[in-house]
Amino acid sequence: MTAQAPEMYNYSADSSQFASTVKVEATVNEFSPGTSVKANENSNTKTNKILDGSLFTVWLSALCALTLLILTSIYAGNSSLLAGHRSIGRSPGNVLLVLRVLSELAGVMMATTIAGTLEVLQWTLISRQEGRKGMSFTDYLVMHAGTGVSGLIQLAFGRGVPKLSSRFWSMTRLIGIAMVPLLNVVIMSNVNTAITYDKLTITAPVTGYGVGTFNASLAAIWHPMADLLFSTNFMYFLSDGARVVDITAPAARARCNDGEENCVVSYYVSGGSGDFAPALLASGDSRGADAFLAEAQPGFVFDFTDGSNDWQFADNECSVFGADIAAWALCLKDGTEDNEIKARLIDCPADVASLFQCHDSRSWLKNQGFSTSLHSWYRSAEVAYSRVNDSILTHSFEGSPPQTPASIPAAELLTAFILVFKSSNQASPFANALTLLGVGNNTAATPIYAWWYFHGASRLANADATSRRRGISGLQSMLGLAIYHCQPKAFGEIRDLGYDNTTSVGKAILASFPTGVQGTPVFPAALRYIIVIDYATLIAYIVLGGATLILCFAVLVTVTFVAPSTKSRAYSSFPILDFLSKCEVVEQERDNRRSVISMDDFHHQASENGQQGIRIRETEGLRVVLTETNPRVPVQSTRSFAGRIFTA
């Protein structure tokens, strides 16, 4: 490699202007500790650092970083200051994008602040006049923006670095470099979105119904509509998005989906929105609404657990439903707790059904079948229903009273099934009224379809755990469906519609319906998405970012107000130009004579070392200081590397 030796530091006697041009062509692979860089002193120029443009820029970037860090934390914490605007929360992607943009901007300003603070500190150390002037050359290398990660790692952990300060500043810079991506990882590591609602009215325009107390006798009213209520989707009642929410714990749901035994599932069954949605849609209050928000709406909580094959049922605890060719038995008995029911459903096997003996033969009632236990609870919740299709968007138990046991006697529930699936229309006042309308005597056909479903699941249950899960889920849905319709909500809705029933038939029908209580306030609401972040993650983000900025502000305050240098020249935004024009590398002799290291010395030493370049240990004892204004007379020394110097 060829290095051209320039004329170094040529000053005239009547002018302090730097008159020479420095051309550097060299490759430096390693630098050793102890080298100092000295900046130019000018006794006629006194710069107040508070007014220094570069220092002002660092202060500005620090304040911007602090502002963005605060805004990011406020937004992530769902403060209404930022997250409360619907324009921001119209979609999950939008709210996450805003968080990402804020955190990235905060990271950019944080990186700018860290780099600027190190430059300010570096120039302050170079400019100091008290004690030992300047700073160690290796410290200068560590704090210089041109030193990359590999160089910092070598100076922090490599050999031949005798100064602990160099290792300290290297690790400090490495931490500063890693801090920005670390903050972005922390803030986005455990973040999700959730739906919240803004009420469009102060008072509730309408009130709605919630589920009421279980009453098995109500089955006598609706049994003419059994096929309509159960239909062919009876096994999917607990999947009805307009009434039911699966509140099973994720871990428990995963075990159930894998077909494991002793599966535990939980469901919240709400009162639905069928009674109040038409009234809200007809009023002008629902304009601009995305959802109808029902506050403290009463509902059921059903906790199901897989049953045991060891359960024994008495004859009066079981009933057979269906036809001789397609029948199934339902057995119900009370559990050990007041709100517990143990249930088992057994399908008539094919060899018995083919002989039309399902009702005459009772041997198949000893088969395994499908078993489950049910714990029933009453519980209120805040439920948001879609304005478009009445489906449940979200629910929340927060702020609602704790659940209370729902006493549902097994014998009464079995009686309800008997009324629904075995009685004729004439068995209820409602049925008698329907007979006057031309609806003939009939018995529900749902049990025949139910046999087909459970028989199919039973045939595969022994070999396929998923099929067994389908059978148990069908039994659970059937129980939930019967309980849901044996409470006065739906009948109260019809009775309170306010129709003028002048006919005797209409009066008879409405008179048979129980009254309900409209006690659920319902509000039209606008939907928006918010950030849901783990507070431990948010605290970690605030602590890491805040601690970093506190250190930067401490350095800036010290440099600006505590120990300002009145003789240092203002540094520019280009550190390499400041080094070439205002600094010099010196080696301090024992007799206090200062030896200035020329650029030629670096070139020559690099040429002698060949591909290895300059080694760190070869620059030990060098310092970086401000260039003095007095003229210099070059004097050649005899030392190996520090010998080719100009002696001042």
**Do residue 233 and residue 183 come from a single domain?**
no
- On whether the CB atoms of residues 141 and 155 are closer than 8 A, the answer is yes
**Do residue 582 and residue 453 come from a single domain?**
no
As for how many domains the chain has, the answer is 2
**Do residue 545 and residue 455 come from a single domain?**
no
Residue 402 resides in a domain: no
| Per-residue model confidence (pLDDT) at position 501 | 59
SS3 content of the chain, % helix, strand, coil (to 5): 45, 20, 35
**Do residue 580 and residue 633 come from a single domain?**
yes
- pTM of the full predicted structure? 0.70
Residue 137 resides in a domain: yes
Final residue in a domain of this structure, among 481, 516, 551: 516
| Per-residue model confidence (pLDDT) at position 38 | 46
**Do residue 479 and residue 566 come from a single domain?**
no
Final residue in a domain of this structure, among 516, 548, 566: 516
Residue 297 resides in a domain: no
Residues in the chain predicted with pLDDT less than 50, given as ranges, are 1-51, 566-567, 611-613, 631-648
Q: Which run of H or E residues covers position 406?
A: none
**Do residue 507 and residue 574 come from a single domain?**
no
**Do residue 134 and residue 74 come from a single domain?**
yes
Instruction: Quote the domain boundaries for residue 447.
Output: 206-265+302-374+407-516
**Do residue 509 and residue 565 come from a single domain?**
no
| Per-residue model confidence (pLDDT) at position 20 | 33
**Do residue 169 and residue 100 come from a single domain?**
yes
The model's pLDDT over 311-354, given as tens digits with 9 standing for 90+, comes to 999 999 999 999 999 999 999 999 999 999 999 999 999 999 99
Residue 164 resides in a domain: yes
Amino acid at 490: A
| Per-residue model confidence (pLDDT) at position 450 | 93
Residue 94 resides in a domain: yes
Final residue in a domain of this structure, among 516, 549, 571: 516
| Per-residue model confidence (pLDDT) at position 49 | 45
| Per-residue model confidence (pLDDT) at position 114 | 92
**Do residue 493 and residue 546 come from a single domain?**
no
Enter the tokens of residue 301. 């909580």
Indicate the angle between helix axes 164-189 and 535-557, nearest 10 degrees. 140
Q: What secondary structure does DSSP assign to 519-549, as a single string?
A: -EEEEEEEEEEEEEE-HHHHHHHHHHHHHHH
Residue 341 resides in a domain: yes
Residue 102 resides in a domain: yes
**Do residue 139 and residue 255 come from a single domain?**
no
Residue 179 resides in a domain: yes
**Do residue 123 and residue 149 come from a single domain?**
yes
| Per-residue model confidence (pLDDT) at position 263 | 93
